[in-house]
Chain A
Amino acid sequence: MNFLSEDVPDPTDFPPQAIAPGLRTLDGSFRCDICGELYDGPVTIACGHCFCSACIRNCLLNKQECPTCRKSANEVHIRPNPVLEDVISAWKEARPFVLGLTKRETERVGEKEASRKRKRSSENPSSSSSIPGNTPGPSNRDISSPTRTLKAKSPSKVVKKPRTKREGNAEVNVISSSESEEDSKPQALKFAPRAEDLVECPLCTKKIVYRELNGHMDNKCKNDSAAKSWSLLLGGSKNGQQKGKHKKKESNSDDEYPLPLTTYNTLKDRQLKDMLVEQELPITGNRSNWEQRHRQWIVLYNSNLDKSKPNRKTKADLRKDLKRWETENAKKKKTVIADVKAYQKEQKMEFAKLVEAARPKKAGEDASVTIDTSSPLPLPTSSSTAPGDATEITSEDE
C-alpha cells in the first residue's frame, strides 16, 4: 500500500464537508470527469459539460456523446473555456496555500478544543511566522512582498490579471486568433483602415494587414491555411513534399487554425504520407501506424489550440508528446512479429542478458526455457507482463 502514501493530488486532500465546507467539492469540480486531473485546456461541449480538450477529443473519436450526460456531442461543438482556464491556473497556485491554511486551521481547532485559553496566543505566532502577509481579507495590497503573495492570496485578482493582459495583447499584435477578430471589429467600424491596420479579407475572412490586402486577394488567398486544409481534406496536395520545406516559413500564419478530422479510408498511402510529412511527423511503421499517428496528432494539436496562448506548447513539445503516446500505445497492443527468426537473431544479446539475470534468481528452474518461449514477443517487458494480464482477463471471462 506504499503507493497510497505517495502524494497524489486529489480532492480528498481536503478535509470532509463537516470540517472544511465546500473545499473538497470545489477541488473536485475543478477536475475533468475523464482523467480526474485539474482541467488541462478546458473546453465546453454542446450540453455544457466541461472536459480537458484532449480527453474529450479522444472520447469523441470513439463515441459521439457526452461522457457525463450522454447527450449527443460532436467535435464541432467544442469551445474553449478561457475563463475556467484562468480559474484553474489560479487554483493551481492557490491550492497548496489553501491546503496549508486548512491544515493549520484544523490543528488550531484541535488545540482550541484542548485548551480554550491558549487559543489566542497560538494563533498569532503561527500566522506571522510561516507565511508573510497571511491575514485574511482583501486589504493586503500594500504588503511589501510583491506579486507572489498577491497571487497566492486572492485568486479573484489573479483571475482578472491575465485576462486583461491578454486582451491588451490581442489588440496590439495577435494576428488571427478568434479573440482578436471580435476585438478589432469595432475598431474597423470606427476608423477608416490605415495601411498597417488589420482588416478581414472579404474572400477568406482572414486577418490581413490592409496594405497587403490587395496583393493577398490577387494571390487568390494563397497564404491562407483554411484553403490549404481544404485542399488536404479533398485528397491531399500533390506537391506536399515540396511544400514541406516552405512550411516552416508559413507555419506562423496557420498556427491558429485547428486541423480538420480526416477520413483515412479514402486516402491512398501516398496521400497519407504526404499529410504526415506536411505536419513534419515521422513516416515510420505501417499504414495503421500512420493513421493513428495522424489522428492523435490532430487531437494533440487541436487541443493545444484550445488553451490560451501563454499556456500553449510548442510544436516540438507536441511532437514529443506524440512520440510518448505512440510508445505507450505500442505497448498496449501486443505486437506481432512477422519474422520470428530474424527477430530472435536481432535480440540475441538482449535475451542472453536476461538469461544471465534470471539464472541466479531461479537456480533450480531452467530459466532458459521460459525465455525461449517468450522470444516471439518484441520486448522482454511485454512478454513478462502480457501473460499475467491475459490470465487475469481469461479467468474473468470463463
Chain B
Amino acid sequence: MALPKMKLHPQLRSCDQLTIGCSKETERLVADPAPGISALPHDDNLRYFDVIIEGPGGSPFQNGKFKLELFLPEEYPMAPPKVRFLTKIYHPNIDKLGRICLDILKDKWSPALQIRTVLLSVQALLSAPNPDDPLATDVAKHYKENEADAQRVSQEWTQKYAV
C-alpha cells in the first residue's frame, strides 16, 4: 500500500474506499480461484494484478503458463479492466505486444463482469482462436490458410516461451 502518500495527503483516503471495493473481489478471487487461473494483486498497487493462465487442454497452448498483466482503471466496474499478455504467444487475436482482441474488453464490457469472468474468457479465447476477427493479421492468415501448420507454430511458441 502506498502509505507514505496517504499520510501526506488525506484526500487520497477516498481512494481507500475504491481499493476496498476492489479487494472484495480480490479476496474472492484468491480464496476461490478458477481452475487454471491465478491472479495476485501487487502489494503496492491493488489495482494491478499479475495473472497466470494455463493453456487449456486440447489446444496448441496446452501445458503453457502464460503471464498476463491486468489493471483495473478508476472507473472499474463501469469501465473494463486492461489486460495484456506478457508472454509471447502465437495467436490470431493477440498481437506481438500482447494486446488482446476480445469484445468484452471493449464495447461489450458489462459492469456485471468480473476479473474472474474476464480471465475465463481470455482462457476460452486460447481454445477457440477466431481468425475472422484478427489482431495479428499474419498469424490469422496463417491460421486460415493452413491451420495445422499454424497450430504447430503455436505449440512451438508455447514450448519455447510459456513454460
Contacts and interface: CB of A to CB of B under 8 A. Distances in A.
A286 to B, nearest CB: 21
A266 interface: no
B71 A396 contact: yes
Interface in B1-44: 1-2, 5, 8-9, 11-12, 14-15, 17-21, 23-28, 30-32, 43
Instruction: Classify the secondary structure of A's interface with B.
Output: helix
B11 A379 contact: yes
B148 interface: no
Interface string A65-99: 10110100000000000000000000000000000
B71 A392 contact: yes
Contacts of A59: 78, 111
Nearest to A55: B111
Contacts of A68: 110, 112
Given A58-B78, A68-B112, A398-B97, A331 B23 contact: no
Nearest to A358: B8
Query: Chain B, interface size: which category?
Result: 35 or more
A4 B71 contact: no
B28 A11 contact: yes
B46 interface: yes
Contacts of B28: 10-12, 36
Given A70-B110, A332-B74, A4 B12 contact: no
A331 B26 CA distance: 23
Contacts of B71: 392-393, 396
A12 B31 contact: yes
Contacts of B8: 354, 357, 380-381, 384
Given A8-B24, A331-B11, A384-B5, A393 B82 contact: yes
A381 B13 CA distance: 10
B30 to A, nearest CB: 6
Interface string A149-164: 0000000000000000
Interface in B77-112: 77-78, 82, 84, 97, 99, 110-112
A327 B11 CA distance: 9
A68 B113 CA distance: 8
A331 B75 CA distance: 11
B5 A67 contact: no
A6 interface: yes
B23 A392 contact: no
Given A11-B28, A354-B8, A3 B1 contact: yes
Nearest to B44: A388
Contacts of A34: 77, 111-112
A381 B21 contact: no
Contacts of B1: 2-3
A324 interface: yes
B112 A67 contact: yes
A385 interface: yes
A224 interface: no
A90 B17 CA distance: 25
A4 B26 contact: yes
A375 to B, nearest CB: 15
A381 B5 contact: yes
Given A8-B20, A392-B71, A3 B11 contact: no
A35 interface: yes
Contacts of B77: 34-35
Interface in A349-398: 354, 357, 379-381, 384-385, 388-389, 392-393, 396, 398
A355 B9 CA distance: 13
B156 interface: no
A1 interface: yes
B19 A392 contact: no
24 contacts: A1-B43, A3-B1, A4-B30, A8-B23, A10-B28, A10-B31, A11-B28, A33-B111, A34-B112, A36-B28, A58-B78, A59-B78, A327-B11, A331-B11, A332-B74, A381-B8, A381-B9, A384-B5, A384-B8, A384-B9, A385-B5, A393-B73, A396-B71, A396-B82
